A and B are shown apart, each in its own frame.
Chain A
Amino acid sequence: MSLEDDKADAGLAAGRAAEAKLGEVRQLLLNPRAETLDRATTDLAEVVAALTILVRSARQTGDQKWTPAALASFHGIRSAARGLRPQIEHASKYCLGWIQVRSGTGYTRQGFPVFVENEARSSFEG
């Protein structure tokens, strides 16, 4: 087995490990607790680290070639990451909206938010 084959195999192994981690992250994101989100972020950081090593290695050798399986795995990772994006964006916006609503004075008896009406302010410069 040549050095290039070793690198290609390493790419495939890293790619498949990353794909598996992204699958776990998808499940973790469905369990909205601070600790599970921390774990999801840690898993994602590990995927980033693994991919960074692969990119760096490919840049150093200059002529790095991947097997079709490794390339397919990279496409799989990208597709999984893009699949996570709407899920994360939705949850993030959902929480932001909640915080904005919560920034009022609380809720009415019917569960409706009560907003704070700020008085008009003036500023002077000069």
Chain B
Amino acid sequence: MGGLLGSLNSSLQALQAFETALNVSQNNVSNSSTPGYSRQTVQLEAQPFDPSQGQDGGVQAGAVQSTDNSYADQAVRDQLSEQGNYNAQSSALGSIQSLFDVSGQTGVIGALNNLFTSFSAWSATPTSTAAQQQVLTSAQELAQSFQSTSASLSQTTTDLNQQITSTVQQINSLASQIQQDNVQIQQSSTPNAGLQANLQATLQNLSQLADTTVTFASNGTATVLLGGQTALVIGSTQYAIQASFVDPTPGPNANAVNDAHILNSNGQDITSQVSQGSLAGLLTVRNTVLPSLQGDGTQTGSLNQLAQSVADSVNQILTAAQTPSGGPGIPLFTYNSTSPVDVAQTLAVNPNITIGTLAPSDPGPPVVSNGAALALSNLGESTNPTYQINGQSIVQFAAAAAAQVGQQASDAQNGDNLHTTLLTQAQAIQTQISGVSLDQEAIQVMELQKGYEAAGKMVTVIDSLTSTLINMVSGT
């Protein structure tokens, strides 16, 4: 196609090519605020020029290419998953932490301290009605504190069950959106920037809930795997997951709260595959932290251990003691001994005990009028293995349990803060690089890498120098 007609045709192709480029630019501007949208570029392809063969040169618009970068997208999704995990843990642990006051002013530890203080006052004045009444009042408060803490943990369990169920529903809903996007992508003959943007935004939302691995087929459809193993979406097929709160093999402890389980579309347990995202954070608190406190099918839980140890130790001392009138002592506490996980929630003051049946004396011989009360006042710090829990005194054990919850909450908060920073950073780098040519991108990323590497070396030196300063001198 030579001559004038060929030239006109070549010009027409060029006009069409530039029109396509303009459309793409306009699309970029229109979508500049669309979540997940990646800048599109049009490739202008030179056409062969050989008039003798009817090839008139010029340019033609090639395929529209997205500048989005799966590496950067996955890095952002990874940070979203990590942040989701720690954020969910931090929120859930916050409510549990408030139940275990490390300062010993409130909660079970506060009530325990008050009981030991009342024992101490009673040992000083064993026949004082006020001191005896204070012992009964403090015992009542301690029992109520164990019951209310146990009830709060049960309520937290219920809340977490609802959150886990809701999160699983959200995951399935987002997976359904991805599946629908995939269907549209399959049906679309040309790349659809809006659809791709929608898909990216949905993938980011999903990654906050669970750790997902995303791969794209050659036709542009996304395959989404949970934990790198369980399929959520493959092409036009969605595989729904579900939450279950039934232990397939119940443990020996009767009345125990079951763990939470995540099942794949075939009903197989895939809980262990969920390691990031808010679902993982909820599962960690639900299946690890809460059972360590309230017990489950296989463990007693520190709250029940503490309640049982306090009750058994106090009762043992009192039943071996005698009242001022020489009568036998009776137990101060009762609890349901059917299952070790029921102790805290059923701990109560013996309804038959009165001021008159509180036994302060060690029958000896020789009889010590305040011997039992004195033993009770020292019970919290006792080094007698009979009155210890796992080699720790009652007070040490209670403090350690509270400190552990506090440490877990602190770790979760720190993890949340760190991954929020890393997410911001990953998104900033992605934004900084997005929309530049591949060559510019390579240069910019290399510059950034060098900058971070240099900063890293400096930080190592600062760490070393401050350690030297701290170690080489003593404070005045």
Residues of A within 8 A of B (CB): 8, 11, 18, 22, 25-26, 29-34, 37-38, 40-41, 44-45, 47-48, 51-52, 54-55, 58-59, 64-68, 71, 74-75, 77-78, 81-82, 84-92, 94-99, 101-102, 106-113
Contact = CB atoms under 8 A, between A and B. Distances in A.
A59 B472 contact: yes
Interface in B418-436: 418, 421-422, 424-426, 428-429, 432-433
Contacts of A25: 455
B222 to A, nearest CB: 9
Contacts of B462: 18, 22, 44, 47-48, 51, 77-78, 81
Contacts of A44: 455, 458-459, 462
Contact of A110 (B72, B220, B452, B473): B220
Nearest to A52: B465
Interface residues of B, number: 58
Contact of B476 (A67, A85, A101): A67
Contacts of B218: 108, 110
Given A48-B462, A81-B459, A112-B216, A32 B66 contact: no
B458 A45 contact: yes
Q: Most chain-A CB neighbours within 10 Å: which of B438, B446, B459, B474?
A: B459
A59 B461 CA distance: 17
Nearest to A69: B475
Contacts of B27: none
A55 B432 contact: no
B472 A67 contact: no
7 contacts: A34-B444, A44-B458, A58-B472, A66-B474, A78-B463, A87-B418, A87-B425
B458 to A, nearest CB: 4
B73 A111 contact: yes
B455 A8 contact: no
Contacts of A33: 432, 448
A31 to B, nearest CB: 7
Contacts of B422: 86-87, 90
Q: Is the contact region of chain A dominated by helix, strand, or loop, or is it mixed? A: helix
Contacts of A92: 449, 452-453, 456
Q: Is the contact region of chain B dominated by helix, strand, or loop, or is it mixed? A: helix
Nearest to B472: A58
B447 interface: yes
Given A41-B454, A41-B458, A111 B473 contact: no
Contacts of A98: 69, 71-72, 433, 445
Contact of B447 (A30, A34, A113): A34
Given A41-B458, A48-B461, A87-B422, A111 B470 contact: no
A102 B466 contact: no
B459 A85 contact: yes
Contact of A94 (B63, B429, B460, B465): B429
B68 A111 contact: yes
Contact of A34 (B73, B448, B453): B448
Nearest to A80: B462
A20 to B, nearest CB: 14
A109 B73 CA distance: 15
Given A109-B65, A109-B220, A32 B448 contact: yes
B24 interface: no
Nearest to B454: A41
Interface in B60-77: 63, 65-73, 75
B441 interface: yes
B465 A71 contact: no
Contact of B442 (A52, A68, A99): A99
A103 to B, nearest CB: 8
